[in-house]
């Protein structure tokens, strides 16, 4: 792998958003060998400061300036959720490729519209479900695809964090009007659901959900609070606000074809910083993975010892090896998933055949996740199973 683990594709990107995840994109782009023309924040001043801090050529004065930059091939959207729809549409209309942070937009009307736009745009349009790009998640999907797992019996897992554990933890995402009525399921549950569907190759077709708000009142700082920075913030004036979005959610589900499952998510589980787990039972083998130990895949057997597959390119399928840059035992982590997703996206862009099946999460995937979220919300309110509507593809 030493020969190709970085690359050059002569493509240029720009990043919209200067919060936690914007700089993650900049770093991933650099590692993937993609030039980064610049960055834009919520003001020209913020853009300039971010560009300087990150060593980027340009801090754009406005989003429109990015759209107008002819040197830019693709635009990464890392802005708050409520801007995604308008910005993604504008990027496609400007004739540029787009990679949007999840969720793709605020509701399924918007996401359906974006799917339509993407289809006719002749451009690549992806959503940043980066977890898929852990090499051992790619390997799991490949093993299901090759039939090594057999029939999918059931699938369970969780995604838990503790960054909203205290009533004093605050972020715009807890407010329904900023982040949407669904929070934990939308923010982290959709990562799990995307991964589950990617690995099994099947859609979640019905859900039965339970949602709970453990901390119904939080203290909002009178200034703003960035994602993931709250844990180290200093004392400041606060005001109590009522929170209606869920801290905890659980959904049982059925997969199209066969297979049942369950996932629960929490943002108030003390000690779990960012822990995604799944356990997949098949008729021939089982698989289990934990994002806290992302370089190991457990393979369960009934009649012989269980296995632990280390992320060693020499031991992976070719589909996974392509995204495992470092030798076995040289652990890769969360930052590496962005490099790999970007490599996948830009290799597709460079190939130029936009009728080919995209090897990354698409706007159609992003749309389906929003449909799932809407079904979860309805199920929790009505306390019953809800089917996800059929999607024309």
Q: Using CB under 8 A, which residues numbered 79 to 138 contact a second copy?
A: none
Give me the 49-68 binding string for a second copy, x by CB under 8 A, dash otherwise.
---xxxxx------------
Residues of span 265-324 touching a second copy by CB under 8 A: 266, 268-275, 279, 281-286, 291-295, 298-310, 312-315
- 147-166 residues in contact with a second copy (CB under 8 A) are 151, 153-154, 156, 158, 160-163, 165-166
Give the residue among 14, 15, 18, 16 at the shortest CA–CA distance from 224. Answer: 18
Cα-based distances in Å from 327 to 2, 90, 137, 285, 313: 9, 41, 17, 26, 6
Rounded distance, CA 58 to CA 50, Å?
9
146 binds a second copy (CB under 8 A): no
Q: Is position 46 an interface residue for a second copy (rule: CB under 8 A)?
A: no
Site membership for a second copy, residue 205 (CB under 8 A): no
- Smallest distance, a second copy to C-beta of residue 247, A: 7
Tokens 């695809």 belong to: 145
Q: How near is the Cβ of 26 to a second copy at its closest, in Å?
A: 6
Dihedral sign for Cα atoms in the order 107, 110, 115, 116: positive
Binding mask 209-248 for a second copy (x = CB under 8 A): -x-x-x-----------xxxx-xx--------------xx
Is residue 5 a contact residue for a second copy (CB under 8 A)? yes
Q: Which long-range contacts (CB under 8 A, 24 or more apart) does 217-226 make?
A: 217/167, 217/241, 217/242, 217/243, 218/167, 218/168, 218/169, 218/170, 218/174, 218/243, 219/167, 219/168, 219/170, 220/170, 221/170, 224/172, 225/170, 225/171, 225/172, 226/19, 226/20, 226/171
Applying CB under 8 A, the site for a second copy has a residue count of 106
Nearer to a second copy, 70 or 270 (CB): 270
Binding mask 346-385 for a second copy (x = CB under 8 A): -------------------------------------xxx
Cβ nearer to a second copy, comparing 51 with 118:
51
Q: How far is the CB of 347 from a second copy (least distance, A)?
A: 13
The DSSP-derived string for 208-219 is: EEEEE-S--EEE
């Amino acid at each position: 792998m030493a020969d190709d683990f970085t690359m050059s594709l002569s493509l240029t990107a720009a990043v919209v958003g200067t919060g936690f995840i914007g700089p993650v994109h900049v770093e991933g782009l650099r590692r993937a060998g993609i030039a980064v023309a610049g960055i834009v924040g919520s003001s020209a001043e913020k853009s300039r400061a971010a560009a300087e801090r990150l060593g980027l050529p340009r801090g754009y004065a406005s989003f429109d300036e990015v759209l107008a930059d002819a040197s830019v091939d693709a635009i990464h959207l890392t802005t708050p959720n409520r801007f995604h729809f308008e910005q993604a549409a504008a990027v496609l209309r400007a004739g540029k490729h787009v990679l949007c942070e999840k969720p793709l937009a605020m509701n399924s009307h918007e996401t359906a519209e974006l799917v339509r736009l993407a289809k006719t745009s002749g451009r690549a349009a992806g959503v940043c479900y980066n977890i898929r790009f852990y090499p051992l998640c790619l390997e799991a999907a490949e093993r299901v695809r090759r039939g090594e797992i057999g029939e999918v019996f059931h699938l369970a897992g969780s995604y838990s964090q503790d960054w909203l554990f205290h009533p004093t933890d605050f972020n715009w995402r807890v407010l329904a009007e900023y982040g949407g009525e669904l929070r934990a399921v939308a923010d982290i549950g959709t990562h799990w659901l995307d991964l589950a569907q990617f690995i099994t190759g099947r859609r979640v077709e019905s859900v039965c959900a339970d949602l709970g708000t453990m901390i119904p009142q939080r203290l909002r700082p009178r200034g703003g609070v960035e994602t993931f920075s709250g844990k180290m913030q200093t004392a400041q004036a606060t005001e109590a606000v009522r929170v209606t979005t869920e801290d905890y959610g659980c959904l049982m589900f059925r997969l199209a074809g066969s297979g049942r499952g369950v996932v629960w998510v929490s943002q108030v589980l003390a000690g779990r910083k960012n822990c995604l787990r799944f356990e997949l039972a098949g008729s021939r083998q089982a698989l289990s993975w934990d994002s806290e130990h992302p370089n190991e895949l457990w393979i369960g057997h009934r009649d012989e010892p269980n296995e632990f597959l280390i992320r060693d390119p020499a031991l992976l399928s070719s589909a996974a090896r392509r995204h495992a840059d470092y030798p076995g035992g040289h652990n890769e982590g969360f930052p590496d998933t962005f490099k790999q997703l970007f490599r996948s996206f830009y290799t597709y862009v460079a190939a130029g055949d936009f009728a080919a099946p995209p090897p990354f999460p698409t706007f159609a995937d992003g749309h389906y996740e929003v449909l799932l979220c809407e079904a979860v919300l309805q199920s929790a309110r009505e306390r019953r199973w809800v089917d996800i509507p059929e999607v024309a593809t």
